[in-house]
Structure 1
Amino acid sequence: MTVVHAPRLKTRSKAITSKLLLLFSIVPLLSGAAEPQQPLTLTVFTYESFISEWGPGPKLKAAFEKQCQCTLNWLSSTDGVGLLNRLRLEGEHLPADIVLGLDQHLIVAAKKLKLFAPHQQSLPPLTLPDPWQDKVFLPYDYGYFAFIYDSRKLKNPPQSLAELVKRKDIQVIYQDPRTSTPGQGLLLWMQQVFGNQTAQAWQQLAAHTVTITKGWSEAYGMFLKGEADMVLSYTTSPAYHQEVDKVTHYQAAAFNEGHTLQVEVAAQLAQSKQPELAQQFLAFLLSPSAQRIIATHNWMLPVRAIKKLPPAFGQLITPRKSLEMSLETIAKQRKQWLRQWRRAVSQ
């Protein structure tokens, strides 16, 4: 029988205790290392129709999340001008990394907020009518505003904006220029065509305007229900009906004066907590796969050449003239033109 002296027993007990404490301290570390890390999250602020079930949002989300191993969240406003209005209200407190859905007509006003960072992208060859120079806002699609009609019901559509304004037999729906980029597009279109006579033209149009909606989705939905003869939309809208609904009776009226151009843009917010992920998303927007999704689900023209777009894109009307205006002039005159519009439609 071996006799163990008390001092040796105490020493041995302390050694065992130390080993156990070390073991228990390592186990949580090993357990934590085994747990998968939470994916990074990117929040994109955009307009409602973009993220609807039939819009490009769901497919873009799936494609980008597969690429980045992250989570893409959407934050939405009714329409494009609504994005700018909320940016003005919330500023740096807006919980987003990217703003997607402003257009070139809002760039000057948006930059005054000093909320955006440069896009840092090396642009591929673009299909835009004019070279793109802006270093903050990145174009991702473009199109031309147009009035859409049902050729089964309207046999003699107007051939110009001036004719549409005068035609009291044609019931019209368009969007509010204070909240909607198409509505703002019409504001500029009217100014370009009528100049000093724009106020009178608004009054004439008001006489056969069914309603003015906050956003595009509401206006187009009312038109499809037969509540108006024509609705403000895009020259590309008939492509949707041909490819999805398999019908050809929805057409865009080609106007002699030309059509106002819209370029939709995206930008990174300077307060983004995920700047690298934001830059990755901007690059993704210009990838061929994302451009194809945007063209065939947002139903706008892609900003880079894409092979094998649906045949309906080859059957769209070609504007006789691309109507454009100095962005600085728009920024300076927009409030005055809005006041003119409000006075005219309220009479």
Structure 2
Amino acid sequence: MSFQKIGLAALVGFSTLVSAAAAQDKPTLTIYTYDGFAAEWGPGPQLKAGFEENCECTVDFVGADSSIGALRKAQLEGPGTQADIILGLDTSVAAEAKNTELFVDHNVDLSALELPVDYASSQFVPFDYGYFAFVYDSSKIETPPTSFEELAALSEEFKIAIQDPRSSTPGLGLVLWMQAAKGDQADKLWADIAPNILTVTKGWSESYSLFLEGEADMVLSYTSSPSYHRIAEEESKYLAAQFEEGHYVQIELAGILESSDQKQLANDFLTYLVSQAGQSIIPTTNWMFPVVPLDNGLPEGFDTPLPKENSLILDDETVGQNTKKYIDDFFAAIGQ
């Protein structure tokens, strides 16, 4: 081998070592979230690409079966967890998450946020929201129920598929929706609705599949679910029943862990998440509403948010103190 070739080989080897060292020096931001968010069709990949363009870092989304699963994973791992951010918690579990003392205050500017209900937290950053609703096929049902009372008055042949509040975010949302809308009447209404419940599935996907297969007349989902069918599938027959008592709001949240050694980078990511660039990704990947008004508006075919007067929510403290009772009362009322 000539000295020229030896010199070239050494230079290439040195460049490889420098590149490897640079890659090792690049910080990694690890985000625990739910599988749908991290999936290739979810918001995760686009948010990762957008943030990495300017951060000189690597973003690693780690999916769990649910946002609660992501929180439990971090709890089990303790101070040694690799997670810097837990993303996808919502207001129904915010009190529980805060009580874990895993999270620190953020310093993200939230002044541009517009939410349908009042919500403020020093530890959690809202990044999208939606409304729980019953979705139906308008080619089969001309006049859907417009209240819990009308649902309870339907014949037993009319079936709904709902989710378990112990394992499903929408399932818990339904229990809180009934409580926020009906209060002391909740137990009686659940007992009256019980004959119409086809099944209580562990998660959303199982019950939604039953609905799409024609096994159920309505399914617990979101007011924005028809937007998916309309935009992604060009199918407009699916609609969300509008309940006169209003609809419960789910606000999804992200928080930074006390144990993180990338707190500034985590703050930078959450700032990007609620920016125009980050929020524009949300509607047609997570099929939820953005928390800031988009400069170009919502995508064509995407449903608009409900009026504020039709938006229901219980405060974190009330939810945190009463969730177990609400769930126990729900199962007792429906005979399970």
TM-score of the superposition, structure 1-length normalised? 0.84
Deviation at 1:161, TM superposition (A): 1.9
Letter in 1 for 2:293: A
Partner of 1:311 in structure 2? 300
Say yes or no: does 1:222 pair with 2:207.
Answer: no
Say yes or no: does 1:102 pair with 2:89.
Answer: yes
Secondary structure of 1:163's counterpart equals helix
User: Structure 1 residues 274, 179: CA separation in 2 closer, same or farther (over 3 Å shift)?
Assistant: same
Deviation at 1:158, TM superposition (A): 0.5
Letter in 1 for 2:48: K
Letter in 1 for 2:22: Q
Letter in 1 for 2:109: S
Secondary structure of 1:306's counterpart equals coil
User: Structure 1 residues 113, 255: CA separation in 2 closer, same or farther (over 3 Å shift)?
Assistant: same
Q: Distance in 1 between matches of 2:305 and 2:125?
A: 25
Deviation at 1:37, TM superposition (A): 1.5
Partner of 1:192 in structure 2? 180
Question: In the alignment, is the contact (CA less than 8 A) between 1:239 and 1:316 conserved in 2?
Answer: no
Say yes or no: does 1:338 pair with 2:327.
Answer: yes
Partner of 2:6 in structure 1? none
Question: In the alignment, is the contact (CA less than 8 A) between 1:117 and 1:136 conserved in 2?
Answer: yes
Task: Return the match for 2:151 from 164, 167, 172.
Answer: 164
Say yes or no: does 1:255 pair with 2:240.
Answer: no
Deviation at 1:60, TM superposition (A): 1.6
Determine which structure has more spread, i.e. the larger CA radius of gyration.
1
Question: In the alignment, is the contact (CA less than 8 A) between 2:283 and 2:299 conserved in 1?
Answer: no
Q: Distance in 2 between matches of 1:81 and 1:252?
A: 26
Say yes or no: does 1:62 pair with 2:52.
Answer: no
Q: Distance in 2 between matches of 1:305 and 1:224?
A: 32
Residues 183-229 of structure 1 deviation map (CA, whole Å, 9 limit, x = unaligned): 11111111123322322322333322222222223332332222211
Q: Distance in 2 between matches of 1:176 and 1:265?
A: 21
Q: Distance in 1 between matches of 2:309 and 2:109?
A: 31
Q: Which runs of 5+ in 1 are unaligned?
A: 1-27
The percentage of counterpart residues that share the same residue type is 43
Partner of 1:43 in structure 2? 30
Partner of 2:163 in structure 1? 175
User: Structure 1 residues 31, 262: CA separation in 2 closer, same or farther (over 3 Å shift)?
Assistant: closer
Say yes or no: does 1:244 pair with 2:232.
Answer: yes
Secondary structure of 1:157's counterpart equals coil
Partner of 1:127 in structure 2? 114
Question: In the alignment, is the contact (CA less than 8 A) between 1:80 and 1:179 conserved in 2?
Answer: no
Deviation at 1:86, TM superposition (A): 4.2
Deviation at 1:326, TM superposition (A): 2.5
Deviation at 1:65, TM superposition (A): 2.4
Residues 262-304 of structure 1 deviation map (CA, whole Å, 9 limit, x = unaligned): 1111011111132222112111101111101112211111100
Letter in 2 for 1:160: S
Letter in 2 for 1:66: E
Deviation at 1:311, TM superposition (A): 2.1
Question: In the alignment, is the contact (CA less than 8 A) between 1:255 and 1:319 conserved in 2?
Answer: no
Residues 147-181 of structure 1 deviation map (CA, whole Å, 9 limit, x = unaligned): 11110112221011222233233211112111222
Partner of 2:9 in structure 1? none
Deviation at 1:126, TM superposition (A): 1.4
Say yes or no: does 1:72 pair with 2:59.
Answer: yes
Letter in 1 for 2:126: P
Deviation at 1:80, TM superposition (A): 3.5
Residues 235-273 of structure 1 deviation map (CA, whole Å, 9 limit, x = unaligned): 111111111111111101000111111111101111113
Partner of 2:195 in structure 1? 207
Question: In the alignment, is the contact (CA less than 8 A) between 1:78 and 1:214 conserved in 2?
Answer: no
Q: Distance in 2 between matches of 1:317 and 1:226?
A: 28
Partner of 1:16 in structure 2? none
Letter in 2 for 1:304: V
Deviation at 1:35, TM superposition (A): 4.3
Task: Return the match for 1:136 from 123, 137, 141.
Answer: 123
Q: Distance in 2 between matches of 1:233 and 1:225?
A: 15
Residues 52-85 of structure 1 deviation map (CA, whole Å, 9 limit, x = unaligned): 3322122222222223232222222223344444
RMSD: 2.4
Letter in 2 for 1:148: V
Partner of 2:317 in structure 1? 328
Question: In the alignment, is the contact (CA less than 8 A) between 1:252 and 1:317 conserved in 2?
Answer: no
Partner of 1:234 in structure 2? 222
Deviation at 1:320, TM superposition (A): 5.5
Q: Distance in 2 between matches of 1:90 and 1:33?
A: 33
Q: Distance in 1 between matches of 2:317 and 2:109?
A: 25
Q: Distance in 2 between matches of 1:237 and 1:30?
A: 51
Q: Distance in 1 between matches of 2:314 and 2:37?
A: 26
